A and B are shown apart, each in its own frame.
Chain A
Amino acid sequence: MFPTPIQKRSRATQITYQTLLPLALIMWLLPLLAVMLFSIRPLSDFTNGNYWGIPSSFDLFANYGRVFFESDMPRYLLNSVFITVPTVIGAVALSCMTGFALGIYRFRGNLLIFFMFIAGNFVPFQILMVPVRDLTVSTGLYDTKTGLVLFHIAFQTGFCTLFMRNFIRALPYELIEAARVEGVAEWRIFWYVVLPLMRPAIAALSVLVFTFIWNDYFWAIVLTQGPGAQPVTAGITSFNSQFVAQYHLMSAGSIVAAIPPVAMFFAMQRHFIAGLTLGAVK
């Protein structure tokens, strides 16, 4: 193990390490801790200039209550859910199939198609912006959740295919050959042999795509406007103009917007990290 395990070091080093850890963490999360502190302060603290002292009252429920009951926040959150969940299902389903095709079969153009998926996944969003917006407007899907979902599915399929194909490549190929010898139809091999083995990959991708889509901002402002279809990342700007300079409410609002992916991460940590490292770093 590198660096040398702390247990093998002197007592003094161990104590230094144990005190440094929490200090480093506090430093690391300082900007966020500041926002958390803001979000439980009453308005009067800001007018009195009491930014960093003890809050004059503990207003957690009052502040977060106002976020939920006096703004469009719940609406935006719901929009985010209705955009994110279908995208996850769509992108994972499509990429299970593309990954299967590219990972199992040998045919001309296999590698070419695979690299097209990878390359497309890296392009800057701006090169797609005008045509995609145009397509969405002309199909009548501008400012709808469907329009956003369709694009997200398509774009995420690139990344998901990369992941799925590499995952399927690492499965024991003998299983598939054995099934073929038995005369099992190809689609049955997919459904009964490969798909059950892909569960960890499906879990990893679902968590990851959920976070990516929930956090998307660019496409939200390009393809939607207003609380009818906008997800929470875009909605937060209107929220902030509603409560301009009321830092306690703006802080509470952005914390609310951030919670779902954070909760998802803490609940599914192992899968999340497996996905992030693209399965390439074991």
Chain B
Amino acid sequence: MTPATDTRSWLQKNRMTVTPLLFLLPGLLFFVVYVISPIFQSFNISLYDWDGLGEATYIGLDNYRELVDDRAFETSLWNNLKWLALYLLAIPAGLFIALFLNQTVTGIRLYKSLFFFPFVLSQVVVGLVFSWFYLPRVGLLNAVLTFFGLDSINVLGDPDLATYGIIAAGLWPQTAYCMILYLTGLNAVDPEQIEAGRLDGAKGWKMLWHVVLPQLKPATFIAFVVTIIGALRSFDLISIMTNGGPFGSTRVLSFMMFEQALSEYGFRMGYGSAIAVVLFLIMLVFIGYFLWQMWRDERAARH
């Protein structure tokens, strides 16, 4: 048999490569223009002294040198750490509420939704709701404290307390998010393993730790991802509740960056970008870890 000459067009022959490329193109274009290339641009801008309008002057690593001595930067970095550590409380708290609600009594579905719905509120609204909750005279918190004969406190006016007050506000929706992850996870827990555990005499904590939690691993992983990203992204609450104050005590890196680059502190785009780069590098550690985990799952799925 003579080899038939291939009469198909180039497009037909290569359709398995051309088709995915064409489908990817619009989305990829958008993403590269608005997300990927700005990351590299920011790295570049961080090496300049630039007010956003005039001529940019190359100053090498001077912005970074300035950061090292900037007290505001130090405070922000510490606050970021506080956010990170305390925000993780949302995971056990969410698990606790999920276990509490994982029953089948009448109306439980409505209870689950109502427990969850703070997450749907915008952070701006959460921030406002909590600033009013904390108000020294009008707020409910102090009404409750005075009712029990305690001294009233001005949470957001006290530099030692303000950051914790904001984190508490942030924990409210974040706990709701973790709760829903665990509630969905608990639905999929294998009843046979629970029964087997019961026969082995496992109860309460032991059952939770050795039988239930291992099965909730996917939920825990996602809870970690969203909580850590959420903690490092914190901006809205700070901007709404204290605007960085009192005396700059509630600044975090994301907020300080915005302040330096766009608000009353002047348009220091280079300096702001340097802060953003530091924040990005911190986040990159976590992003790298998450991607590595996902890549492992991906490989496991292929074999």
Binding site for B on A (CB under 8 A): 1-3, 5-7, 17-18, 21, 24-25, 28-32, 34-35, 38, 46, 51-52, 94-95, 97-98, 100-102, 104-105, 107, 110-111, 113, 115-120, 122-135, 150-151, 153-155, 157-158, 161, 186-187, 190, 211, 214-218, 221-222, 233, 236-237, 240, 247, 250-251, 254, 257-258, 261-262, 264-266, 269, 273, 276-278, 280-282
Q: How far is the CB of A145 from chain B (nearest CB, A)?
A: 16
Contact present for A120 and B30 (CB under 8 Å): no
Q: How far is the CB of A37 from chain B (nearest CB, A)?
A: 9
A95 to B34, CA, bound (A): 15
Task: With a 10 A CB-CB cut-off, give which of B17, B103, B122, B187 has the most chain A CB atoms.
Answer: B122
Contact present for A217 and B207 (CB under 8 Å): no
Q: Is B92 an interface residue (CB 8 A)?
A: no
Contact present for B42 and A130 (CB under 8 Å): yes
- Chain B residue at minimal CB-CB distance from A187: B19
Which residues of B in the span 228-248 have a Cβ within 8 Å of any Cβ on A? Answer: 229, 232-233, 235-236, 239-240
Q: A94-B27, A277-B181 are in contact. Are A127 and B277 (CB under 8 A)?
A: yes
Contact present for A2 and B194 (CB under 8 Å): yes
Q: How far is the CB of A131 from chain B (nearest CB, A)?
A: 4
Contact present for A1 and B102 (CB under 8 Å): yes
Q: A124-B283, A126-B257, A277-B184 are in contact. Are A35 and B31 (CB under 8 A)?
A: no
Which residues of B in the span 122-141 have a Cβ within 8 Å of any Cβ on A? Answer: 122-125, 128-130, 132-133, 138-140
Q: A31-B140, A130-B269, A154-B31 are in contact. Are A276 and B181 (CB under 8 A)?
A: yes
- Chain A residue at minimal CB-CB distance from B225: A122
Instruction: From B24, B39, B104, B139, give the contact of A113 (CB < 8 A).
Output: B24
Contact present for B194 and A258 (CB under 8 Å): no
Q: Is B4 an interface residue (CB 8 A)?
A: no
Number of B residues with CB within 8 Å of any CB on chain A? 101
Q: A131-B42, A247-B138 are in contact. Are A124 and B233 (CB under 8 A)?
A: yes
Contact present for A123 and B105 (CB under 8 Å): no
Q: List 4 additional contacts besides A17-B103, A34-B132, A130-B42; criterion CB under 8 Å.
A: A101-B23, A119-B291, A123-B35, A126-B257
Contact present for A277 and B222 (CB under 8 Å): yes
Instruction: From B15, B26, B122, B257, give the contact of A215 (CB < 8 A).
Output: B122
Q: Is B9 an interface residue (CB 8 A)?
A: no
Binding site for A on B (CB under 8 A): 15-17, 19-21, 23-24, 26-28, 30-31, 33-39, 41-42, 45, 52, 99-100, 102-105, 111, 113-115, 117-118, 120-125, 128-130, 132-133, 138-140, 143, 172, 177, 180-181, 184-189, 191, 194, 207-208, 211-212, 218-219, 221-222, 225, 229, 232-233, 235-236, 239-240, 253-254, 257-258, 261-262, 269, 272-273, 275-277, 279-280, 283, 286-287, 290-291, 294-295, 298
Query: Which residues of B lie under 8 Å from residue A187 when comparing CB positions?
Result: 19
A98 to B20, CA, bound (A): 8
Contact present for B20 and A3 (CB under 8 Å): no
Contact present for A265 and B232 (CB under 8 Å): no
Contact present for A94 and B30 (CB under 8 Å): yes
Q: A124-B232, A155-B34, A281-B222 are in contact. Are A217 and B23 (CB under 8 A)?
A: no
Contact present for B24 and A102 (CB under 8 Å): yes
- Chain B residue at minimal CB-CB distance from A38: B132
Contact present for B208 and A2 (CB under 8 Å): yes
Q: A52-B140, A129-B261 are in contact. Are A123 and B283 (CB under 8 A)?
A: yes
Q: A126-B254, A126-B275 are in contact. Are A105 and B16 (CB under 8 A)?
A: yes
Task: With a 10 A CB-CB cut-off, give which of A3, A113, A117 has the most chain B CB atoms.
Answer: A3
A215 to B186, CA, bound (A): 29
Instruction: From A120, A186, A254, A281, give the contact of B31 (CB < 8 A).
Output: A120
Contact present for A101 and B280 (CB under 8 Å): no
